[in-house]
Each structure stands twice: as C-alpha cells, then as structure tokens.
Amino acid sequence: MLIRIPRGSDPNSSEITPEQVWRQRRRFVEAMGLAGIALATPGLARTAADCQKALPRLKGVKPSRWKVNEPINSFRDITHYNNFYELGTDKRDPARFACHLEPRPWTVVVDGLCERPTRFDIDELLTGFPLEERIYRLRCVEAWSMVIPWVGFPLSLLLDRVKPLSSAKFVAFESIYDPKMLPGQRRRVLDWPYREGLRMDEARHPLAILAVGLYGKELPRQNGAPVRLVVPWKYGFKSIKSIVRISLVEKQPPTTWNRIAPDEYGFYANVNPQVDHPRWSQKKERRIGEFLRRETLMFNGYEEEVASLYRGMDLNRWY
C-alpha cells in the first residue's frame, strides 16, 4: 500500500477509526470487490485448494547443503499467509484468489548488458537447471518469519547462460503485469509492475536462487508461481514473485518499495535488527505458528556467508 508520512495537520488519534475496525472494514470491502470480479469472470471462482490439487511433483530434486536446522513451517502456513499484492493486500488474499494467476504459458526474458539475451520457457527453467531443495528462513519486514523448503537453482547459473558484460553492475527484476488476470493490479496500491534489484555480486552469491517449487512440488500460485527470486538474508519484499523479465544494467535500478517510501525501504533491505523500521522495531520476530517472539538475527542468520559483501559499508545508511 502507499505509505503516508504523518504531518502536523493530521488529526488526533482519538479522531481516527481504531485500527482493528478499519482493517475489518477494508477486508470486507476488498473481499466483496474481489468476489464480484471472480463471479463476473468465468473460471476464476476456483479456490486455492482446487489449484493446489493439480501441483505436479518436481523430478530430479536433490538435497542441498544450504539448510537450517530448524522446524519447517507447514505447507498450509507457507501457502496461507503471504504478501502478494497482485492478489490482494490482506495476508490471506493470495490463497483465496490464487487461481486468478495462470502460470502457463510463461516465459522469462533475460536481456540488457549481456552477450546472449535469451527468452526462457518455464519448462526449460524446470528441467534445464539442477534443482535443489534448500531450507531457508524467510524474514518479512513486518516482524514475522517462516522456515521454507524451497526448490530452485542458483541465479548465477542463469546469469552464466547469458554471459553478462563487464559493464553490468546490477540485476533488475520485473513481475507480471496483467490487470485483466490479476485483480489487485486494477487498484493503484503499488506502481505496477512490481520491480526489484540486486547488485551483481549479490545476485551471484550462491545463496540467491530462482525458486520454482515448494515442498517438492511446483511453486503454488500464491507463493509467486511459476518462478520467483529468493534472497534469504534480505527482507521478504526483495524476493520478487512471478518474474517475467531479468535485465542486466549498469546503474542501480529503481525498485517498487524503495520508490514508494525511500525512508522506510532501502535498496539493500538486508535484515539488520539494529535498524528499526520507522513504524516498528526489527529487533524481534514471530515465527508463524509460534506464540513467543525470538531475537532477530543479523542478515537473517546468514551473517557468516554474506557479511563480506558489505564490508566497509555503513549499514545504518545503506539499509
């Protein structure tokens, strides 16, 4: 949603509708609107359960050395508590309206500063790269987290295929834009399409993957089908979903949340418990399915692996 910076002319808190009441109203209005769209559009009234029944199991998936020794969240937790504004702004909207997203046919264009610009079909991504199951933490900026068994392959392998030029310093990502398919894009809650970016050395780090599956099956729609980015040492909004374009560029690319609210969402978005979000603390988090909060780990627990990427940088400034 668009972030509004409070001003001195704003009303007193006593004059504002309580947050709980406001959220209930918003959910009701959005649910009625999306339900109307589903009823008016043949074939879009299916439930998320209907879509998940058809998820094929991926073949040739090998276990990875990249994993955390923590309990994995359930499939239901992972697929029913999501941020995916293309399908609604409430955490449960993506599961409710997952079938709006059609993951086939699908291609991902890789272009920009490279020797071999290529258009990859989704089936080529599923079969043309070595798939691994990687158990990663996912940390969301709103102070909740999960442990997820992603299936994917290193982003660096895709970059190797297109042969980046030496002038390519950043990698820019773009999500699908199709308001006819995705009801959330019919409202200007974000500047569509969703965009993200990484520095080239971040993109080439072996922890950064393109995920095409979850729990051994193809990626559920509400989790960013058919292909998404996963960067486990960063906040979840960096892991862009339903990618259609990857561009190699020389200058730092604009990204969705950084453009909307640069004082709240930096380009790097590394998990740093010492830098609070302006509206909440980042020092603790709640693992979905647990009652008590836990201490937030620097770089989401991947400090040993990635801290060298940011040596010499002021992480309070480059947040």
Confidence of residue 49 (pLDDT cuts 50, 70, 90): low
Confidence label for 28 from pLDDT (cuts 50, 70 and 90): very low
Average pLDDT over residues 233-262: 97
Q: Contact at 8 Å (CB) between 212 and 154?
A: no
pLDDT at position 104: 95
pLDDT reported for residue 48: 60
- pLDDT category of residue 16 using cuts at 50, 70 and 90: very low
Picking from 10-24, 61-75, 137-151, 232-246, which range would have the lowest pLDDT averaged per residue?
10-24
pLDDT on residue 110: 98
Question: Could you tell me the residue ranges of all domains in the chain?
Answer: 18-265
Tens of pLDDT, residue by residue over 161-189, are 999 999 999 999 999 999 999 999 999 99
Nearest to 230 by CA among 152, 282, 286, 169: 152
Are the C-beta atoms of 242 and 175 separated by less than 8 Å? yes
Residue 15 carries which side chain, given as an amino acid letter?
E
Q: In degrees rounded to 5, what are phi and psi of residue 12?
A: -65, 155
User: pLDDT at position 54, please?
Assistant: 77
Q: Give the pLDDT confidence score for residue 46 in this predicted structure.
A: 57
CATH 3.65.10.10 assigned to domain 18-265? The reply is no
Q: What is the pLDDT of residue 37?
A: 44
Distance CA 204, CA 298 (A): 20
Nearest 5°: phi and psi at 9? Answer: -85, -5
102: buried, middle or exposed (CB in 10 Å: 19+, 13-18, 0-12)?
middle
pTM exceeds 0.75: yes
Pairing state between β 284-287 and 144-154? parallel
Give the DSSP H/E element, type plus range, for residue 121: strand 118-121
**Distance (Å, rounded) from C-alpha 155 to C-alpha 31?**
36
Give me the residues paired with residue 7 across strands. none
Is residue 190 predicted with pLDDT exceeding 60?
A: yes
Instruction: Quote the percentage of the chain above a pLDDT of 70.
Output: 83
Which SS3 state, helix, strand or coil, does residue 164 take? strand
Q: Has residue 18 got a pLDDT over 80?
A: no
Q: Token pair for residue 140?
A: 């969301």
The larger pLDDT score, comparing residue 244 to residue 27, is at 244
Q: What is the pLDDT of residue 61?
A: 98
* The pLDDT of residue 44: 46
* Six-digit token string for 165: 């030029």
Share of the chain above pLDDT 90, in %: 83
How many CB atoms sit inside 10 A of residue 56's CB? 9
pLDDT of residue 97: 94
Mean model confidence pLDDT for the chain: 88
Provide the sign of the torsion angle of the four alpha carbons 75, 76, 81, 82, taken in this order: positive
Q: Is the pLDDT of residue 210 over 50?
A: yes
Cα–Cα distance, 166 to 179 (Å, whole number): 37
For the purposes of burial, counting CB atoms within 10 Å of the CB of 316, is it exposed (0-12), middle (13-18) or buried (19 or more)? exposed
Measured CA to CA, the distance from residue 315 to residue 319 in angstroms comes to 5
Q: What is the pLDDT of residue 40?
A: 44
Burial (Cβ within 10 Å: 0-12, 13-18, ≥19) of residue 308? exposed
What confidence tens digit (pLDDT) does each residue in 272-291 have?
A: 999 999 999 999 999 999 99
pLDDT of residue 155: 98
Q: How many residues does the chain have?
A: 319
